C-alpha cells in the first residue's frame, strides 16, 4: 500500500513538473515577432487621398487608426517607371526595382521570346477552381525573392504565407515563390481560384466561400452613396461625359442599378466598392481556415484591394464614385482591424498599407479647370509610324510594340537585312519629338549621355531590364496620358502617379510621421529588420529607422 502511495506521489510530481514546464515558452530567449503580418496594397491610391477625405473618414475606420495610432511615411515615392500594378506589387514585397526583379510592366514584349508576355502567365500550370488561361498563373516571371519567401526560409517553412486579391498579379507576386497559396477572383464565375503551382484542388473553405456567391449578395444592395450625395463636396458633380460607363451604357450616375447583374455578370462587381468588401471577407476567411497568426511562428497575409483601380480608371480621382469607394474602403478597413483585434489580439499583429501607384486626373476634367492636359494614342502612333517606316526603309512592322511608354524595334527583321538600326531609331525619335505632347524621346542605349533631370533618369534606369524593355523611352508632358477621351490612367514618373501612402500600425509601432523622402523599395527591408530576417534577394531599399525605433 505504501509503495502505491509513494508511486502516486511521484507520479503527481512528474505531472506537476511537466505542467509547469509546458506553461513556460518553448524557448524563453526566442526572438519576439508579431503573430501575423498583414500587408495591404490599395491598387491606385494617391497619397493625397489620406487627407482629401480625412474629415469624412470614420473615427472607427481604418485610415484614422493608421494616422492617429500608427506611423506614416508621408513622402514615399516610387523610384522607377512605369508606375503600374505588377511592378508596384513586386517592388513593395521585394524591395527591388524592375531592372533587377524583372517585372517591367503588367505585360511586356519579350525580346528573346519575340512575343508579348503577361506578368504572371505560366503555361506549365493549370487552373484550379476554373478552366483556361484565367488560372494559368504563377510567380515564375519574377526573378527575386519577396519578404514572404524570406520569412518562409527563415522559419524553415514553418510560417504560412497567403496572397489574396481580385487581380491575379495582386495576389501572386507579393506572396512570392514559396507561398502556401495565392487566390484571385474569376470575373466569369464569381469564384476565387488558384493554380496547380500551389495545389491541385481548392480547399474546402474556399469552396464554401465561393458557394456564398457574395457578388450576388452585394449586387442586390445596388450602389448608392454611403452618405447623402449632396455632401460629396470634394468631388465633381455626378455623371460627366469624360467618365467611362463601366457599369453599363445606360448607367446615369448614382444610384447605380446593380441588381441587373445578379447571376449574369460577375465581373462588374470589381468596378464597385463591393469588390473591396468581398476581398476583406476572403482575407478573414483565410485567417480563420488557415489559422494564420494562431501559434508562435509568424505568418503573412498579403492582401490587395483591386477595386479602387477599376473605379479610378473609369471615373477619375475627382469623382463621387472614387470618393465613395474610399469612404467605404475606410469602413471595410475599420471592420478588418476590429476582427484582427479579436482574432489575433490587439498589439499581436503588424499591418502596413501602401499603394502600387497613383493616378492622373482625367484630361478633360483638367481642361475644364484651365489646367493644360491631353491624351496620346500610342496604338495609333505605332500604326502610323510603321506605315511611314515601310515607305522609308522598305520593311513591314519595324515597330513591334509600344508597351510601357517604350518603342520596341523588330530586331529580327533589322538584323537579317542591311537596314541601319541607328537610322531607324533617329527617324522614330525625331518623329516622336515632333508630337506636341511628347517632351522627350530617348535611345535607351544612350541614356547616360542625354541631358535629363536626375530623378527622371534614375527612374528610367531602375525600370530598364533589357530582355523585357524596348529601345526608345517616351516621356510625355505632365498631365498628358496614353489613352482615349474618357477615363484616365497612370504609369508616368510624375508625383500624381509616383507619390503613394505608406502607413504602419500594430506590433511595436509607435505613433508618428516623417516627411523625409522614403521609397517603395524601403518597405521590404524595413519588414526584414522588424522580423529580424534576411532582406529579399534583389533588395536595394533601406530600412526606415523611424519605423523600427
Residues with catalytic function: 85
Q: Do residues 538 and 145 lie in contact, with contact meaning Cβ atoms separated by under 8 Å?
A: yes
Q: What's the residue count for the chain?
A: 549
d(CA 420, CA 413): 11
Q: Rounded to whole angstroms, how far apart are CA atoms 398 and 412?
A: 10
Burial of 131 (0-12, 13-18, 19+ CB in 10 A): middle
C-alpha span between 248 and 262 (Å, rounded): 14
Q: Which helix (H) or strand (E) holds 163?
A: strand 161-165
Classify strands 374-376 and 71-77 as parallel, antiparallel or unpaired: unpaired
Rounded distance, CA 256 to CA 264, Å? 16
In 203-273, which ranges are continuous DSSP H helix? 204-211, 214-219
Cβ pair 316, 263 in contact under 8 A: no
| CA-closest candidate to residue 185, choices 149, 214, 160 | 214
CA dist., res. 407 & res. 409, Å (int): 6
Q: Which cell numbers hold the place of 409?
A: 524595334
| CB of 192 closer than 8 Å to CB of 210 | yes
The values of phi and psi at residue 301, to 5°, are -115, 115
**What's the grid cell of residue 419?**
537596314
Amino acid at each position: 500500500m505504501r509503495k502505491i502511495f509513494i508511486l502516486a506521489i511521484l507520479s503527481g510530481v512528474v505531472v506537476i513538473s511537466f505542467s509547469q514546464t509546458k506553461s513556460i515558452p518553448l524557448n524563453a530567449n526566442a526572438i519576439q515577432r508579431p503573430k501575423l503580418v498583414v500587408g495591404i496594397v490599395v491598387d491606385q491610391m494617391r497619397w493625397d487621398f489620406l487627407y482629401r477625405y480625412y474629415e469624412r473618414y470614420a473615427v472607427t475606420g481604418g485610415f484614422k487608426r493608421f494616422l492617429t495610432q500608427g506611423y506614416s511615411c508621408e513622402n514615399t515615392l516610387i523610384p522607377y517607371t512605369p508606375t503600374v500594378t505588377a511592378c508596384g506589387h513586386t517592388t513593395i514585397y521585394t524591395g527591388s526595382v524592375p531592372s533587377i526583379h524583372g517585372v517591367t510592366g503588367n505585360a511586356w514584349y519579350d525580346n528573346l521570346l519575340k512575343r508579348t508576355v503577361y506578368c504572371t502567365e505560366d503555361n506549365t500550370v493549370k487552373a484550379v477552381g476554373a478552366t483556361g488561361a484565367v488560372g494559368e498563373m504563377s510567380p515564375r516571371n519574377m526573378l527575386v525573392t519577396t519578404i514572404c519567401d524570406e520569412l518562409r526560409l527563415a522559419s524553415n517553412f514553418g510560417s504560412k504565407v497567403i496572397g489574396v486579391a481580385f487581380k491575379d498579379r495582386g495576389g501572386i507576386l507579393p506572396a512570392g515563390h514559396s507561398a502556401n497559396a495565392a487566390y484571385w477572383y474569376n470575373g466569369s464565375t464569381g469564384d476565387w481560384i488558384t493554380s496547380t503551382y500551389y495545389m491541385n484542388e481548392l480547399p474546402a473553405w474556399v469552396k464554401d466561400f465561393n458557394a456564398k456567391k457574395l457578388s450576388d449578395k452585394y449586387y442586390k444592395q445596388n450602389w448608392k452613396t454611403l452618405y447623402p450625395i449632396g455632401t460629396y463636396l470634394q468631388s465633381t458633380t455626378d455623371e460627366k461625359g469624360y467618365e467611362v460607363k463601366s457599369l453599363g451604357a445606360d448607367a446615369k450616375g448614382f444610384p447605380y442599378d446593380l441588381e441587373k447583374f445578379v447571376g449574369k455578370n460577375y465581373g462588374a462587381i470589381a468596378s464597385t466598392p463591393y469588390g473591396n468588401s468581398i476581398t476583406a471577407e476572403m482575407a478573414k476567411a483565410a485567417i480563420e481556415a488557415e489559422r494564420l497568426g494562431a501559434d508562435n511562428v509568424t505568418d503573412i497575409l498579403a492582401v490587395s484591394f483591386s477595386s479602387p483601380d477599376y473605379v479610378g480608371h473609369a471615373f477619375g480621382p475627382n469623382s463621387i464614385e472614387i470618393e465613395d469607394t474610399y469612404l467605404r474602403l475606410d469602413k471595410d478597413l475599420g471592420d478588418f482591424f476590429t476582427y484582427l483585434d479579436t482574432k489575433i489580439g490587439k498589439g499581436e499583429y503588424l499591418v502596413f498599407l501602401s499603394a502600387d501607384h497613383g493616378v492622373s486626373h482625367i484630361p478633360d476634367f483638367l481642361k475644364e479647370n484651365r489646367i493644360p492636359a491631353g491624351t496620346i494614342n500610342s496604338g495609333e502612333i505605332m500604326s502610323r509610324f510603321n506605315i511611314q517606316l515601310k515607305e522609308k526603309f522598305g520593311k513591314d512592322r519595324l515597330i513591334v510594340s509600344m508597351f510601357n511608354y517604350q518603342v520596341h524595334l523588330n530586331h529580327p527583321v533589322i538584323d537579317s537585312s542591311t537596314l541601319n538600326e541607328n537610322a531607324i531609331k533617329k527617324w522614330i525619335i525625331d518623329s516622336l519629338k515632333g508630337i506636341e505632347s511628347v517632351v522627350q524621346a530617348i535611345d535607351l542605349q544612350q541614356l547616360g549621355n542625354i541631358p535629363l533631370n536626375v530623378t527622371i533618369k534614375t527612374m528610367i534606369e531602375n525600370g530598364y531590364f533589357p530582355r523585357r524593355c524596348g529601345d526608345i523611352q517616351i516621356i510625355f508632358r505632365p498631365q498628358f496620358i496614353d489613352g482615349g477621351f474618357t477615363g484616365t490612367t497612370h504609369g508616368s514618373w510624375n508625383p500624381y502617379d509616383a507619390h503613394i501612402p505608406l502607413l504602419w500600425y500594430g506590433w511595436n509601432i509607435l505613433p508618428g510621421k516623417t516627411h523625409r523622402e522614403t521609397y517603395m523599395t524601403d518597405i521590404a527591408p524595413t519588414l526584414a529588420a522588424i522580423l529580424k530576417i534576411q532582406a529579399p534577394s534583389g533588395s536595394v531599399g533601406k530600412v526606415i529607422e523611424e519605423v523600427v525605433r
